[in-house]
Each structure stands twice: as C-alpha cells, then as structure tokens.
Amino acid sequence: MTATLPLISLRSVGRTYRTDGIAVTAVRNVTFDVDQGEILAVMGPSGSGKSTLMNMIGLLDLPSEGAIYLEGTNVADLSEDRRSTLRARSIGFVFQSYNLLARHNAIENVALPLVYCGVGHKERLGRAEQSLEAVGMLHRAHHFPRQLSGGEQQRVAIARALIASPLIILADEPTGALDSRTGAEILALFAALNQRGQTVVMITHDPRIAMQCRRTIRLHDGELVSDETIAPLLPRRSIGS
Ligand SMILES: Nc1ncnc2c1ncn2[C@@H]1O[C@H](COP(=O)(O)OP(=O)(O)OP(=O)(O)O)[C@@H](O)[C@H]1O
C-alpha cells in the first residue's frame, strides 16, 4: 500500500532576512505537515514569523534553511517560472484588506487569476459565476468594490481565491477588518468550503478563529511552540432528542 503524501511538508524550515549587514531570523527550525482536507490556524504574537511562514507556504519566498515540499516536490528545485505557475494553480490567497482591483467589478476581479492560467475569456466568466455562487455573491457580480460592504468584498476575494480550484487557500487575518458578526459569517464560509474538501490555512491573532479550526499551530520568536489538534465537536443534538 502506498502512503498518501502530505499536501505540504515543512522540514526544519528557517528564514533569515539580511538587511545592511544585519541578520534577522524570522522563522527557525519549523517542521510540520498539512494534509489534504485540513483546516488549521497559525497563531502567534506580532513579529513571531506568521507572515514570513505564509509567504514561504504560498511560494512567494523560499526558506534559507530546510525545505518545503508541495505534494512531494521540493519547491526550491523549481525554476522561478515554474514556481509562479504552480503558485497560480495551487494557492488561493485571501488577505485582511481584500486586495480587490477598484476599477474592476466583482466578476472581473474573480476571473482575473485565470488569465495567468491561460483560460479563455468566456470560460473565465463562466467559472467566475460559479465561484461567486459558491460564496453567495452572484447577485453582486456587476458591483464594484466600493459598492460592496467589507464582508461582501471578502466573499468576492474568497471567490477569487477559489477560482483556479487551488490545492490550498492561504488566508492572512481574513476577518481582521470585519466586525465580529461579519467575521463569524466569513469563518462559517471557510468552514463550509472545508467541509467540501478545501484545504485552508489561516493566519490569525484571533482566538475565535483558532477555536473554529481543529488544528492550531503556535509560533513564538519564529519557533513552533505547539501544534494541537482537538477532537471534532459532536454534532449538536436537536431540542427534545
Ligand atoms: N523583509 C524583511 N526584512 C527584514 N526583516 C523582516 C522582513 N519581514 C519580516 N521581518 C522581520 O521578521 C520578524 C517576523 O516578521 P513577520 O512579519 O513574519 O511576523 P508576523 O508574526 O507576521 O507579525 P504581524 O502579526 O505583526 O504581522 C520580525 O522581526 C520582522 O521585523
């Protein structure tokens, strides 16, 4: 029997920035795996290395020590072009500030990543409609970002992240700019996507997000200090049962 490879595997990963002769080690000796279908939170105080780690998992940056494997491939062995293509096809990014293009409406924003995957115009719009539908935003397809609430903009950003059917969604403080009710709705959306098999990694300061994830990894001063998985919550019993 062949064992299934983890989707992502980090092995003794470190990242040291060098600026004007000064070295800052932002991440050191971090080892963990993410399996297909997981949803996990990466937590830690400001400056603990969360964004540095996310940039490496998202193939935007390479480790200075150790290795990152995506489905068994050491990403450092790929050319920059190959890594960019792999990033466009495999990683969906969601940011605190949505990062939608102001001059493009929702459906155009959602379709944009497919340009980099070489998909034709008509198919791009068809898939963007499906993606908007998956996040409950099809009725706002022709609205511009300024005409949408923060929660709606984040839904459009999630539709954009989903459009290339990525292996993994990487979300950096996805509820950081939202009030608590809207933030809870966005979390529920991530949970629903995960129920349908989508792998999700969320970077957050917010303990409420971590509570929604079965697994939480904590960083401190660039080091992994805990990696905890809790048992899934029992389904709520209906009244009277
Ligand atoms: N490009 C860079 N050049 C030099 N040092 C950097 C760079 N990016 C981050 N650092 C340093 O690396 C450390 C970790 O930063 P990082 O942004 O990864 O932390 P973080 O946990 O995401 O913080 P926050 O929650 O405040 O966003 C910090 O000491 C930071 O100053």
Is residue 3 scored above 80 in pLDDT? no
In angstroms, the CA 39 to CA 200 distance is 5
Q: Which of 106, 81, 216 is nearest to 163 (CA)?
A: 106
For ligand 1, whether the C-beta of 57 sits within 6 Å is no
Give the pLDDT confidence of 8-22 residue by residue, as tens digits: 999 999 999 999 989
pLDDT value for 241: 36
Mutate to test the pocket of ligand 1, among 15, 27, 48 (most ligand atoms within 8 A of CB): 48
- The reported pTM is 0.90
Is residue 211 scored above 90 in pLDDT? no
pLDDT value for 231: 66
Is residue 205 scored above 60 in pLDDT? yes
pLDDT value for 233: 54
Determine which helix (DSSP H) or strand (DSSP E) holds 84, and give its type and residue range: helix 80-90
Residue 26's SS3 state is strand
Is residue 28 scored above 80 in pLDDT? yes
CB distance 58 to 8 below 8 Å: no
For ligand 1, whether the C-beta of 14 sits within 6 Å is no
pLDDT value for 237: 47
Q: State in Å: Cα 199 to ligand 1 middle.
A: 25
CB distance 175 to 187 below 8 Å: yes
Give the pLDDT confidence of 58-101 residue by residue, as tens digits: 999 999 999 999 999 999 999 999 999 899 889 999 999 999 99
Ligand 1, atom 5: nearest CA belongs to which residue?
17
Residue 173 or 2, more confident: 173
Q: Which of 203, 170, 191 is nearest to 87 (CA)?
A: 170
pLDDT value for 230: 82
Give the pLDDT confidence of 96-123 residue by residue, as tens digits: 999 999 999 999 999 999 987 788 999 9
Q: Where are the domains of the chain?
A: 8-229
Give the pLDDT confidence of 29-56 residue by residue, as tens digits: 999 999 999 999 999 999 999 999 999 9
Q: Which atom of ligand 1 is nearest to the CA of 53?
A: 18
- The CATH number of 8-229 is 3.40.50.300
Q: Could you give the ipTM of this predicted complex?
A: 0.97
* Integer angstrom CA distances of residue 153 from 85, 110, 149, 166, 233: 26, 11, 6, 20, 30
For ligand 1, whether the C-beta of 158 sits within 6 Å is no
Exposure string over 162-189, b if 16+ CB within 10 A, otherwise e: bbbebbbbbbbbbbbbbeeebbbebbeb
Task: Choose the weakest-confidence range: 82-91, 119-128, 167-176, 201-210.
Answer: 201-210
What is the arithmetic mean of pLDDT over 183-212?
A: 90
| pLDDT, averaged across the chain | 91
